[in-house]
Amino acid sequence: MTLDDLNAAATSLHLTALGGFHEDGKTTILLGPLEPGFWPFVTGHPDFKGDDPLDNWSSAAISSLADDLHARAIFPFGGPPYHPFIAWALRSGEGWASPVGLLVHKDAGLLVSYRGALVFDRVIPLPSPATPPCESCADKPCLTACPVSALSPNGYEVESCKTYMDADVTCRAACRVRMSCPVSKSYSRDPAQTAFHMEAFHPS
């Protein structure tokens, strides 16, 4: 099993590896959307149903993939307790803390979304750590994109964010901070998926 083999299998589910790490002779691979095309594929799938349709699909799809690849599936939902996906992302060589504290991924930017992980009882070779995109981002637009400065190096003011969302159609559809990231802008995520996550965060 190689990382290329895993990605080849995950492609049929519009998933891809978003980083990984080794620990105690095991390999954990984080999985997220393969763009473009993830959202139309997922929303048209029969497992996209129930009160938490994206989580339901993720559980079914990644569990099936784990069975096929003789791995163990782990998810960022379903707790408490919750698995430390943020800490794992920071270990993966592909995710870092952005200037506003949100995770930033080398390909997905501030739109990174981990749908699950596969744990293999063996060492799978992984690529060398990537270079954090924020290091070469001169303007750092994420620092000034929020109209009420809810996201800043000092933390996240959730109530200020939600209060502004109540009155602002643009923010209800997409977080200005996440969308301001140059890497996010080049990531072909369907706007409907972004709106789905915003509605889940702050229902109308």
pLDDT at position 59: 98
**Which H/E stretch holds residue 104?**
strand 103-105
Looking at residue 204, its pLDDT comes to 84
pLDDT digits (tens, 9 = 90+) for 66-109: 999 999 999 999 999 999 999 999 999 999 999 999 999 999 99
Pair 16, 7: CB distance under 8 Å: yes
Side chain identity at 10, as an amino acid letter? A
Q: What is the mean pLDDT of the chain?
A: 97
Q: Which two tokens stand for residue 7?
A: 């990605």
Say what the pLDDT of residue 89 is.
98
For the chain, give every domain's residue range: 3-125+136-201
pLDDT tens-digit readout, 44-56: 999 999 999 999 9
Closest to 110 measured CA to CA, from 133, 131, 93: 133
